[in-house]
Amino acid sequence: MKITIIGTGYVGLVTGVCFAEMGNQVTCVDIDTAKIEKLKKGSIPIYEKGLKKMLTHNLNNKNLFFETDLSNSLNQSDIVFIAVGTPMGEDGSADLQHVKSVATQIGHLMQKDLFVVNKSTVPVGTAELVQKEIEKELAKRKVSYKTEVISNPEFLKEGMAVADFMQPDRVIVGADSDEAFDIMHRLYKPFMAKNDRFIAMDTASSEMTKYAANAMLATKISFINEIANICELVGADVNQVRRGIGSDTRIGYSFIYPGAGYGGSCFPKDVQALIKTAKDYQYTPKVLEAVERVNKQQKEVLGAKINHYFDNDLKGKTIALWGLAFKPETDDMREASSIPLVKYLVRQGAIVVAYDPEAMETAQNFYFKGLKGISYVKDRYAAIKNADALVLITEWKEFRSPDFKQMKKSMNKAVIFDGRNQYDAIELAKIGFHYFQIGVK
């Protein structure tokens, strides 16, 4: 098929590259000229495992193209995907200005019947909104091309997005016609050779499914963090509690790992957007509000532990930080737990020395730009040299089995604050470390 993807952010780029990998002719369109020129040369603006190799392969095979002019590809395409950003507004709602702008542009440029697919994460009712925006523009032109807006939310995990797209656990499609379901099924069939995981529904249910899925996962994270905090108070070990409840197949182990709170581009934004949607209909989503509140508080837990250990005097203390990204295998720092922690430590007078395999450039150029009190080093062991404490905030693989004996010799004090509960407390005690976890007294 011939496909146009509007937007070359995280979702749009992964979607376009993966469709091209299956032999489709894909044109990705973006108004950012500098980004498009880099993409044409094989340079990608994000770190995502396997994406660069696949992009280069399809550029060379002439399956993948990048343009700034939508009119060049729109009317040659079988399907047009909208994959522009929907940032969180001041009131917590999803900001749909970019989606509306693209819908208007499609209505202004289209010269034939089109299937338009919402790939952006959008609130319930957006498919109908896009449909009306396109039809309004067509009416201005006094033309009557047929268009149907389809909902096809993404379920990509950052760090595993390519694998998730190529082998999806489900493909959710919301539409109103058999023709729409048919073309979407044909498009996704190569990704479901072993098992057809295509789930058809109405557009409102499809849009709601995306928000409900992320809200459920965020709820599990906040729940286990709440349990962790209670465990510390009563003297229980949340790691043992997690194993106990996770063995129940109705609960499972996924997303019940205690830590310093969730972050990223999806969970925080989507939970708040769903809360706003509920309130727009005069319903107070008490569980979702609690999920968000617990997560915000959880991001303060590590800082409080560190401050307490040093008797409320962090001035001049050197704190090594392993990890900056909100999760491993990405350079994304949006809503990362490292952000409030670093800013808190610096405010208290601490000296932060940070290392992350991928996110240091993002931290330096954006999140901590101009921030005094933080420096960056080239490897994990350089970060801990003469440190008064180490804080693990992102569970990259290279942090899983470090040489603790070497670390003890290198550090000023043998102290570890583990924001992801990665290490063996007994092993560290034998070596002589003071070791602090989430949810363990």
Active site residues: 266
Instruction: Take residue 401 and report the two structure tokens written for it.
Output: 């089995």
Nearest CA to 130 out of 155, 91, 96, 154 is that of: 96
Question: Is residue 380 exposed (0-12), middle (13-18) or buried (19+ Cβ within 10 Å)?
Answer: buried
Calculate helix-pair angle for 126-141, 203-234, nearest 10 degrees.
150
Residue type, 256: I
Q: Are strands 415-418 and 198-201 parallel, antiparallel or unpaired?
A: unpaired
Residue type, 265: S
Q: Cβ distance 108 to 12 under 8 Å?
A: no
